[in-house]
Structure 1
């Protein structure tokens, strides 16, 4: 595994094919400070090209996922100097947008365990997960407009996740919803009841990820993200090129041999 940065606001625990990341500011319900944003970004930078890390599991400490942005950071930005022409509010907000895009596009499969408060920026992070698992305790919301601000960086990702119609309702009314409704909207894939149930779902998910070739998985994720962002002919041309590379590559050769020999491929050797 790649060398991981030292973190003050996160705990990092490698576990098999996965890196477990815990947002660790429980006294603030894991509100996303600029320092946490920078540390989380550094972690995703460190593992981006590490194919031994095939999944990331992200959760929060103390029974909450993330309560949104850190109000203290906003207060600091209000008092910051703007003599050089920069805008500290813009820079603070845009830094989180950069992070959420980074998480969205990471080659690893991202699994998020959502408990307690999943608000604002936490809601946005949930929207870029590959698999979202919500405890029945989870409460989701986009409360920005009730605070006199806007969901500037998360709005595009919310629309992509649940569609414009539902994003309008949640964002413009500042609504809060429970895990059941989040599941109905397609924000959440699985509902669980308690830590043991959550751990069982995560374990089974990681077992399934292990059955899938890491490079093929990363290439597939990249393909899915390009849908709707480039002309279809161009997308399909590149997809065909990527398919040919996969077939001729080591994973394609190993997968074919394993199928013919009725055995698990090498990347799944420790799986079921």
Structure 2
């Protein structure tokens, strides 16, 4: 596909790097960029060569959130048009959240508004210590509606009450305390920390990581009922008899590297 607002690179290991590429507007997104991201994520999810997704951005800032011109145009449209527009953003968030392979967000500079949704949808998020975050919607008479399920899942209801209502800017160390980030790194340290995490995940069974993500999505926040217990029983039984489950167990018992590790990895 012809990419105008993003860049995609898939290295020999199967690590796909998806880069937001509108640095001239601080990677703010509009309807066209959202549509492109949806299409790219679909292609990457269906690409058997992709084992892991890294989400990053060109320029000084990760993303300023919604593009001002786009917001201005939406203000002139009716309810149904705004509903359709919101559905596209919701599709983007859902597609990233349910991406079948591990996802890693690398944040530099500002991540405002909807950008927090992208960060919250990734499995792991790392930011430089001078990165800043803001749920700024109420300042312009809006609310962080579409991203709210993902942000609230990350930081909890109590903290959401504060930051949804105050639109305060907070820095990366605070974002880590809130649960939005997993790691905060010094400037220039991002690549090394990211590579350590990437290499760690590349040692793991691709099918098992996909199944582990599905397990989390299926049982998180549910009451421990007979249905949930049955689901966990079925999940472990299915993975044990799967090709990678069989290979992994056999390799472990035979004290050798599993087949999903190439010769270079082994």
Q: Distance in 1 between matches of 2:126 and 2:23?
A: 20
- 1:164 is aligned to 157
From 234, 239, 254, the equivalent of 1:261 is 254
Counterpart secondary structure, 1:266: coil
Q: Are the counterparts in 2 of residues 30 and 66 from structure 1 also a CA contact under 8 Å?
A: yes
Q: Distance in 2 between matches of 1:78 and 1:167?
A: 26
Q: Are the counterparts in 1 of residues 133 and 169 from structure 2 also a CA contact under 8 Å?
A: yes
Counterpart secondary structure, 2:260: helix
- 2:194 is aligned to 202
- 2:236 is aligned to 243
Instruction: Please provide the CA RMSD for this pair.
Output: 1.6
Q: Distance in 1 between matches of 2:251 and 2:47?
A: 24
> Quick one: structure 1 residues 229 and 28, their matched pair in 2 at CA, closer, same or farther if it must change by over 3 Å?
farther
Between the two proteins, the alignment pairs up a number of residues equal to 263
Q: How much has 1:54 moved relative to structure 2?
A: 1.5
Q: Does 1:48 align with 2:40?
A: no
From 5, 23, 33, the equivalent of 1:9 is 5
Q: Does 1:37 align with 2:34?
A: yes
Q: Distance in 2 between matches of 1:150 and 1:22?
A: 26
Q: Distance in 1 between matches of 2:120 and 2:35?
A: 20
- 1:144 is aligned to 137
Q: How much has 1:216 moved relative to structure 2?
A: 1.1
Q: How much has 1:173 moved relative to structure 2?
A: 0.8
Q: How much has 1:9 moved relative to structure 2?
A: 0.1
Counterpart secondary structure, 1:172: helix
- 2:56 is aligned to 59
Q: How much has 1:79 moved relative to structure 2?
A: 3.5
Give the TM-score normalised by structure 1: 0.91
Q: How much has 1:21 moved relative to structure 2?
A: 0.7
Counterpart secondary structure, 1:21: strand
Q: Are the counterparts in 2 of residues 116 and 138 from structure 1 also a CA contact under 8 Å?
A: yes
Q: How much has 1:246 moved relative to structure 2?
A: 1.2
From 199, 213, 227, the equivalent of 1:221 is 213
> Quick one: structure 1 residues 230 and 33, their matched pair in 2 at CA, closer, same or farther if it must change by over 3 Å?
farther
Q: Does 1:77 align with 2:74?
A: yes
Give the TM-score normalised by structure 2: 0.93
Q: Distance in 2 between matches of 1:256 and 1:88?
A: 53
Large movers: runs of 4+ above 4 Å: none
Q: Distance in 1 between matches of 2:46 and 2:23?
A: 30
Q: Distance in 2 between matches of 1:22 and 1:211?
A: 24
Q: Distance in 2 between matches of 1:31 and 1:230?
A: 39
Long gaps (5+) in structure 2? none
- 2:127 is aligned to 134
Deviations 1:130-174, CA, capped at 9 Å, x for gaps? 110001221001010011111111111111111000011101111
Q: How much has 1:258 moved relative to structure 2?
A: 1.2
